[in-house]
């Protein structure tokens, strides 16, 4: 029975194959000039997107929508008139692909930002268009291969541009930053994922190409892709690459397994061969050396390929399983030996800046684990340095940081080498902290015309030199950039823990909006309200989580149906043609690579990469369409107008994209007018921008501010009312936008709508709680409105607001405590000068809510409350603390300071204050001295302006103080016991 089923399936496949071949010939014969124009247009659509910043921005994306729409419209016309095909849907994958578009359409009705939601809908319509065109046009294997060539060559161009940027030859913004190749996609992780996908296609094409010149070109192309992939320095991509490569190897038809292994090993060997010299050229800023090693690797790749290809033509060996296993074991031993040599052979670490190279930190960091806390250590290293000609331009530095169990870093020691050294052995003693779990040791160079070479680094406990641990600073056979990235792979590492925080916060949104999501752009519209600490990212860094945030479980199911159905087609429509099967599997492996990496990054937020993926979906779907399914589309119309309906919707897509692009263009014109001081021109441009793109709230908000300025100048009530209405519309359009709430609150408060204004400021704080600006604005609002109530003799209402104001620190402390302790990227909120000023005013007013106090506080220009420690780091906010001693913060009361030993403790204002020239000021320190004493001074650019040893004093600022860095210092004398409460500066 089972044999009969297999035989029947084999016969069905043969019939289907024959029918498809006959139909393909008919379709080919019916091609006309329009079809070739569309074909060429599709190839262009698949080729150019990566070169325009990945189509991440509207400037490049919206014109692409228009272009795609025109192509699709032409294809619909061609289908309906020339091919006489009236059926729109051809396979279950079509329904799944359109369902994703449908999910984004439905999410419009629950979106929190309609403009973003429409933008995402347009993107997915574009992706569907790409999918449909590719799957419908690739009806022959030849068409499929041409499309694949276009995609691979496009990726090769991107890789080549990145290599050129690394060499300094190609000048493309953001193509090479921080020693990493970003190329035209401007993001290294996405570049690495994109090149991985392209490499899978390259291998698939190479093993199935019949012409030697094509294989040779692909050998060069694959080497270029791999070299750029390495120097994108994406750790996640490196870790995932073996998995995707294994998928390609395991699934490719047996007759091509050895070929793809052979070709890929040649590519890897060429990339590894060129990497050390290539890296050395980049590090040294030597353009010619970078190109020399690239070309050397290219020649290596082509020559090795050619030799093996010719040998394989002359020698046909029937490989037995035992021989294959033996060869695998030998290769494994060789690879293991090579890896051991590469990982144990070291060389000195050299960091240098050329004479004309701008000043920048070049630092190599190394992690040392299993460090004992509160223990004396010594770092021993051999150093050679060439400092700069100018004073303080040191040649090299060693930086030592303590890392606690939560991956928080604290500086322990910094050693700078200002003199020329020649292989001098340096010992650097230091002591780990009480919470030290591991160390981060950095070797640095910073200034033009300087260099530093470090070698023989070793760390040991001060009382046990025999138990030293070697630190390999540089590997002889591994590029320095690669070694540094490999050594930093850790679950506790900054970017990994940061992603986990993004994912946790995304899950909060999904939990609240599980079915339909928050609409396209939901994450970047609302994430501030859900974040667990202050970070900035418009993307979740996980495609699947972002998809759920935007479209809920509906969108996720619709999208996952596409790869599931493609896998089903691969299983059911298994071809007897090994070459075709190899190409199909390469397409599947490529799509898997993109999706796999996108699970932990935002690659698919770049429309160019998403287009690449949906083109792969189209190629996979094309192979799954049988001739019978395709032929059905040619039957006479029986009331089905799907093709023409699709054409009509496409027209709307084109017009809508065109209108949004016009709005964008006028918006840019308005910004330029504002920058040049042309208020009238900016107003006219913003009015046009709002007309063509009425969904963008920022256009209305910006226009309202212009109306407000003009209305204030001319006392124009009508224009003032327009400004208020526009701000109300803008705030309503983006309910999660705290800035728009604050902007509307500003105008409400100015007009005397006090309760409404404060309510909006409170809502802004709820929507963006980890933004200190909203707390500053809220504190100011409470204090200013309280002044209004005091002027109206409504002291009770004033006290209520003042109580809310002084309660702000407790709310911020609670937020800080909720932040994830394991994420090294967490920076806890601390008080700012403005917040401290309004908190102090509120406290003084709540003690004496009268007009005299209001009058006096109008002259208060700076205030510090030493009992406020929002980030709970044991130091008063606003102040850096120098010297050793005991500091205790008693919230809402004081800071107790007791210097240790014979040294004093200095509180140094961390940020400068602005004082007007030639004006009298009064300084007041609220303190209780139990023992000893203190001294106060005010300095401007490190020169003393005023000093005081009492609790009050007056001074007049010098004429040249404006623009200078003005700071305050409080010195607590040795053996003192002082309680500090507040520091006030009044303008007399």
Structure confidence by residue, pLDDT tens digits, 841-865 = 999 999 999 999 999 999 999 999 9
Higher local confidence (pLDDT), 783 or 624 = 783
In the predicted model, what is the mean pLDDT of the chain?
90
Report pLDDT for 903: 84
pLDDT at 768 over 90: yes
Report pLDDT for 638: 41
Q: Which of helix, strand or coil describes residue 171? A: coil
Report pLDDT for 331: 66
Q: What's the DSSP call for residue 54? A: G
Neighbouring residues of 52: CB distance < 8 A, sequence distance ≥ 6: 60, 64, 184, 608
Query: CA 382 to CA 453: how far, in whole Å?
Result: 8
Q: Is 187 exposed, middle or buried (0-12, 13-18, 19+ CB in 10 A)?
A: buried
The DSSP-derived string for 119-166 is: HHHHHHHHHHHHHHHHHHH--SHHHHHHHHHHHHHHHHHHHHHHHHHH
Find out whether 788 and 754 touch, Cβ atoms under 8 Å: yes
Query: CA 804 to CA 799: how far, in whole Å?
Result: 9
Q: Flag whether the pTM goes above 0.85.
A: yes
Q: What's the DSSP call for residue 349? A: E
Report pLDDT for 435: 85
Question: Tokens in use for 192?
Answer: 């690495």
Higher local confidence (pLDDT), 697 or 901 = 697
Report pLDDT for 322: 64
pLDDT at 200 over 80: yes
521-578 residue pLDDT tens: 999 999 999 999 999 999 999 999 999 999 999 999 999 999 999 999 888 877 778 8
459-494 residue pLDDT tens: 999 888 777 888 888 888 777 777 777 766 666 666
Q: What value, to the nearest 5°, has the Cα angle with vertex 384 and ends 381 and 387?
A: 125
256-292 residue pLDDT tens: 888 899 899 999 999 999 999 999 899 878 899 999 9
pLDDT at 441 over 50: yes
pLDDT at 750 over 60: yes
Query: CA 670 to CA 690: how far, in whole Å?
Result: 11
Question: Tokens in use for 459?
Answer: 């760390």
342-383 residue pLDDT tens: 777 888 998 988 888 888 888 888 889 889 998 999 999 999
Query: CA 988 to CA 861: how far, in whole Å?
Result: 10
| Residue owning tokens 């999208």 | 559
pLDDT at 825 over 90: no
648-679 residue pLDDT tens: 899 999 999 999 999 999 999 999 999 999 99
Residue 894 has φ and ψ, to the nearest 5°, of -165, 175
* % of the chain beyond a pLDDT of 90: 71
CA dihedral 459, 464, 467, 470 (to 10 degrees): 10
Higher local confidence (pLDDT), 9 or 142 = 142
Query: CA 120 to CA 102: how far, in whole Å?
Result: 12
User: Strand 409-417 relative to strand 396-403: parallel, antiparallel, unpaired?
Assistant: antiparallel
Query: In terms of residues, how long is the chain?
Result: 988
- H/E element holding 894? strand 894-899
Report pLDDT for 172: 95
Question: Tokens in use for 347?
Answer: 């060389």
User: What are the angstrom distances between the C-alpha of 406 and each of 410, 411, 487, 488, 871?
Assistant: 12, 15, 19, 16, 16
Q: What's the DSSP call for residue 539? A: S
CATH topology of domain 879-987: Jelly Rolls (2.60.120)
Question: Tokens in use for 952?
Answer: 């009050």
Q: Mean pLDDT: which of 20-24, 125-129, 484-488, 645-649 is highest?
A: 125-129
Query: CA 808 to CA 822: how far, in whole Å?
Result: 26
pLDDT at 628 over 90: no
Find out whether 91 and 198 touch, Cβ atoms under 8 Å: no
CA atoms within 13 A of residue 470's CA, in its CB half-sphere: 9
pLDDT at 636 over 50: no
Q: What's the DSSP call for residue 412? A: E
Query: CA 406 to CA 144: how far, in whole Å?
Result: 51
Neighbouring residues of 230: CB distance < 8 A, sequence distance ≥ 6: 271, 275, 479, 482
Report pLDDT for 319: 54
Domain ranges for the chain, please list them.
2-335+502-640, 349-474, 879-987
pLDDT at 97 over 60: yes
Give residue 739's pLDDT band: very low, low, confident or very high (50, 70, 90). Answer: very high
Query: In this structure, which CATH number among 3.30.70.370, 3.40.50.2000, 2.60.120.260, 1.10.260.40 belongs to the domain 349-474?
Result: 2.60.120.260
Report pLDDT for 565: 95
Report pLDDT for 796: 93
Give which of 513, 315, 520, 348 is closest to 423, Cα–Cα: 348
Neighbouring residues of 752: CB distance < 8 A, sequence distance ≥ 6: none
893-936 residue pLDDT tens: 899 999 987 889 999 999 999 999 999 999 999 999 989 999 99
- Same fold across 349-474 and 879-987: yes
The DSSP-derived string for 916-949 is: -TT-EEEEEEEEEEEES-EEEEEEETTEEEEEES
Neighbouring residues of 314: CB distance < 8 A, sequence distance ≥ 6: none
Higher local confidence (pLDDT), 116 or 496 = 116
CB atoms within 10 A of CB 650: 21
* % of the chain beyond a pLDDT of 70: 92
Query: CA 302 to CA 314: how far, in whole Å?
Result: 19
User: What are the angstrom distances between the C-alpha of 743 and each of 725, 739, 838?
Assistant: 12, 6, 19
Query: CA 742 to CA 233: how far, in whole Å?
Result: 41
CB atoms within 10 A of CB 925: 21
Query: CA 188 to CA 194: how far, in whole Å?
Result: 10
User: What are the angstrom distances between the C-alpha of 190 and each of 54, 194, 785?
Assistant: 10, 6, 50
Report pLDDT for 255: 81
pLDDT at 637 over 60: no
Which conformational region is residue 2 in: left (phi greater than 0), alpha (psi within -120 to 50 degrees), or beta?
alpha
Query: CA 802 to CA 812: how far, in whole Å?
Result: 17
Question: Tokens in use for 320?
Answer: 């037995």
Query: CA 889 to CA 907: how far, in whole Å?
Result: 14
Give residue 824's pLDDT band: very low, low, confident or very high (50, 70, 90). Answer: confident
Give which of 943, 809, 970 is closest to 882, Cα–Cα: 970
Which conformational region is residue 105 in: left (phi greater than 0), alpha (psi within -120 to 50 degrees), or beta?
alpha
């Amino acid at each position: 029975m089972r044999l009969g089923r297999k035989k029947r399936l084999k016969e069905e496949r043969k019939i289907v194959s024959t029918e498809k071949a006959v139909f393909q010939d008919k379709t080919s014969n019916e091609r006309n000039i329009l079809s070739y124009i569309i074909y060429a247009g599709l190839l262009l659509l698949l080729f150019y997107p990566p070169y325009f910043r990945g189509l991440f921005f509207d400037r490049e994306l919206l014109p692409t929508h228009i272009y795609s729409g025109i192509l699709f419209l032409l294809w619909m016309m061609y289908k309906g008139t020339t091919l006489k095909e009236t059926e729109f849907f051809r396979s279950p994958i079509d329904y799944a692909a359109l369902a994703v578009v449908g999910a984004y359409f439905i999410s419009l009705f629950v979106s929190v930002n309609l403009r973003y939601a429409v933008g995402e809908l347009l993107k997915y319509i574009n992706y569907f268009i790409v999918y449909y065109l590719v799957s419908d046009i690739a009806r022959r294997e030849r068409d499929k291969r041409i499309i694949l060539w276009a995609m691979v060559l496009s990726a090769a161009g991107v890789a080549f541009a990145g290599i050129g940027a690394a060499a300094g030859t190609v000048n493309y913004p953001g193509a090479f930053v921080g020693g990493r190749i970003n190329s035209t996609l401007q993001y290294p992780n996405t570049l690495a994922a994109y090149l991985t996908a392209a490499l899978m296609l390259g291998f698939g094409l190479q093993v199935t190409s019949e012409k030697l010149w094509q294989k040779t070109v692909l050998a060069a192309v694959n080497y270029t892709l791999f070299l750029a992939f390495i120097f994108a320095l994406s750790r996640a991509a490196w870790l995932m690459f073996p998995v995707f490569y294994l998928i390609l190897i395991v699934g490719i038809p047996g007759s091509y397994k050895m070929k793809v292994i052979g070709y890929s090993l040649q590519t890897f060997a060429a990339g590894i061969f060129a990497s050390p010299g290539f890296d050395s050229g980049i590090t040294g800023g030597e353009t010619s050396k970078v190109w020399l090693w690239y070309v050397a690797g290219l020649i290596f790749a082509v020559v090795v390929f050619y030799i093996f290809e010719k040998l394989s033509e002359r020698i046909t060996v029937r490989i037995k399983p035992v021989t294959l296993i033996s060869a695998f074991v030998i290769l494994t031993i060789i690879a293991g030996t090579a890896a051991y040599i590469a990982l144990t052979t070291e060389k000195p670490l050299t960091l240098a800046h050329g004479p004309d190279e701008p000043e920048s930190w070049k630092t190599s960091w190394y992690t040392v684990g299993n460090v004992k806390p509160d223990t004396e250590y010594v770092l021993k290293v051999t150093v050679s340095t060439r400092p700069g000609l100018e004073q303080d331009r040191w040649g090299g530095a060693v930086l030592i940081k303590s890392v606690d169990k939560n991956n928080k870093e604290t500086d322990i020691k910094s050693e700078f080498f200002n003199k020329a050294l020649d292989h001098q052995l340096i010992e650097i003693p230091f002591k780990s902290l009480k919470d030290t779990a591991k160390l981060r040791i950095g070797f640095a160079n910073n200034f033009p015309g300087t260099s530093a070479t470090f070698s023989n680094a070793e760390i040991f406990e001060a009382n046990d030199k025999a138990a030293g641990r070697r630190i390999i600073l540089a590997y002889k056979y591994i590029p320095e950039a690669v070694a540094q990235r490999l050594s930093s792979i850790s679950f506790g590492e900054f970017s990994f823990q940061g992603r986990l925080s993004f994912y946790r916060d995304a899950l909060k949104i999904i939990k609240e909006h599980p079915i339909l999501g928050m609409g396209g752009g939901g994450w970047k519209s609302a994430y501030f309200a859900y974040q667990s600490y202050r970070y900035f990212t418009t993307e979740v860094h996980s495609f699947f989580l972002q998809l759920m945030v935007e479209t809920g479980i509906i969108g996720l199911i619709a999208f996952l149906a596409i790869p599931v159905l493609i896998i089903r087609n691969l299983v059911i429509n298994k071809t007897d043609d090994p070459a075709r099967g190899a190409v199909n599997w390469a397409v599947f492996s490529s799509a898997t690579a993109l999706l796999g990496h996108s699970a932990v990054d935002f690659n698919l937020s770049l429309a160019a990469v998403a287009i690449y993926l949906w083109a792969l979906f189209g190629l996979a779907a094309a192979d799954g369409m049988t001739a019978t399914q395709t032929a059905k589309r040619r039957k006479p119309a029986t009331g089905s107008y799907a093709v023409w309906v699709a054409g009509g919707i496409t027209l709307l897509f084109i017009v809508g994209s065109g209108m949004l692009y016009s709005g964008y263009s006028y918006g840019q014109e308005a910004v330029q007018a504002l920058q040049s001081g042309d208020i009238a021109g900016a107003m006219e441009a913003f009015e046009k921008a709002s007309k063509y793109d009425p969904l963008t709230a920022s256009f209305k908000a910006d226009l309202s501010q212009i109306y407000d300025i003009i209305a204030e100048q001319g006392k124009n009530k009508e224009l003032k009312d327009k400004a208020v209405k526009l701000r109300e519309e803008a705030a309503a359009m983006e309910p999660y936008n705290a800035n728009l709430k604050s902007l509307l609150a500003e105008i409400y408060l100015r007009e005397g709508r006090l309760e409404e204004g404060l309510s909006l400021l409170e809502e802004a704080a709820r929507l963006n709680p980890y933004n200190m600006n909203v707390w500053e604005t809220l504190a100011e609002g409470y204090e200013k409105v309280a002044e209004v109530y005091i002027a109206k003799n409504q002291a009770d209402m004033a006290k209520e607001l003042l109580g809310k104001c002084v309660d702000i620190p407790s709310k911020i402390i609670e937020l800080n405590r909720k932040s994830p302790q394991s994420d090294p990227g967490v920076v806890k909120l601390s008080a700012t000068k403005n917040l401290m000023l309004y908190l102090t005013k509120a406290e003084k007013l709540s003690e004496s809510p009268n007009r005299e106090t209001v009058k006096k506080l109008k002259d208060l220009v700076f205030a510090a409350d030493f009992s406020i420690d929002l980030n709970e780091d044991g130091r008063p906010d606003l102040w850096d603390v120098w010297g050793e001693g005991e500091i205790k913060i008693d919230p809402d009361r004081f800071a107790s300071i007791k210097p240790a030993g014979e040294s004093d403790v200095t509180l140094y204002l961390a940020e400068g204050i602005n004082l007007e020239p030639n004006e009298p000021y009064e300084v007041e320190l609220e303190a209780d001295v139990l023992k000893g004493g203190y001294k106060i001074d005010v300095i401007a650019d490190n020169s003393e302006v005023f000093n005081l040893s009492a609790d009050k004093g007056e001074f007049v600022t010098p004429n040249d103080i404006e623009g200078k860095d003005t700071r305050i210092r409080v010195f607590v004398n040795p053996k003192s016991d002082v309680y500090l409460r507040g520091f006030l500066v009044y303008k007399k």
